Amino acid sequence: MARGSGLSLSIGGSPRVNLLPPAFRAARKDRKVRRRWGAGIAATVVMLLLLAVTANIAAVRSEALLSSARNTGETLVNAQVEYAAEVDLQTDLDAHEHVETVVRAADINWAQYIGEVSALLPAGATIRNVTVDSTSPLADFPQPSIPLEEPRVATLAISASAGSLADISGWVAALRALDGFADCAIESITGADGAYQTIVVLHLDSGAFTVQPRRGN
C-alpha cells in the first residue's frame, strides 16, 4: 500500500457473491411486503371488532336504561289509577271545606245574638237601635288597618240608654263574655245623670258563627 494514500485496502476478507437470480430476490421482497400488508389488515380487523363490541355493549346498556324508565313510568301510571278515587275524594272534601267556609260568613243568628247582648244590660238600661254590618258569602269582610285590632267578620253599632256612666262601663265590660267577641269601643255618650245615651261599636270574629268550622285532628 502506497504511503500517504487515503485509501484503505483489506487483504484476506471473506468473499461475498450473491448467486441468487434476480427473480428470486424480487419474489422474496414481495413476500415481505405482503406480510406487512397482512399484518396491517389484521390489526384493522381487530380494531373494527373491538369497536363493534363496544357499540353493542353501549346499545345493551341503553336498552336496559330505557326498559327501567318504561317500567317506572308504568308503575307511576298504575299507582295514579289505583289512587285516583282517593284523590277525587280528597278534592271533593277540599271543595266542601271551601264552600263551608264561604257559607259560614253569613251564618250568624242575629236575633239570638242581639238577645244575648241585651241580656247583659244592667237594670234600667235598654237598647234603642242596632245596626248590623256583615259580609256576604261571596265577599270578605273589611279588616282593620290598625295592627292591634283583632280580625273580624261582622260589626254591630248598638245605640242604648242607661242611667249612669258606671252602667255603661259595666255593660261594655260584660260584652267580652260573648261568643265571637273581637273588641268593642264606646263611640259616643250624650245626656246627663239618669238619662245617658251611648253608641257602642262591637266587632265580632268567627266565634260568632252559628255553625263552627270543623277542625282537623
How many CA atoms within 13 Å lie on the side-chain side of 53?
6
pLDDT by residue (tens digit) across 129-161? 999 987 655 556 677 766 666 778 889 999 999
Domain 110-208 has CATH 3.30.420.40: no
What residues does each domain of the chain span?
Answer: 22-82, 110-208
pLDDT by residue (tens digit) across 1-26? 445 445 455 555 555 555 656 766 66
Q: Would you say the pTM of this structure is higher than 0.75? A: no
| Residue 206 to residues 79, 102, 132, Cα–Cα distance (Å) | 40, 12, 15
Phi then psi for 33, rounded to 5 degrees? -65, -40
Spatial distance between the Cα atoms of 117 and 130, rounded to a whole number of angstroms: 10
Which range, of 64-78, 112-126, 169-183, averages the lowest pLDDT?
A: 64-78
Helix (H, G, I), strand (E, B) or coil at 138: coil
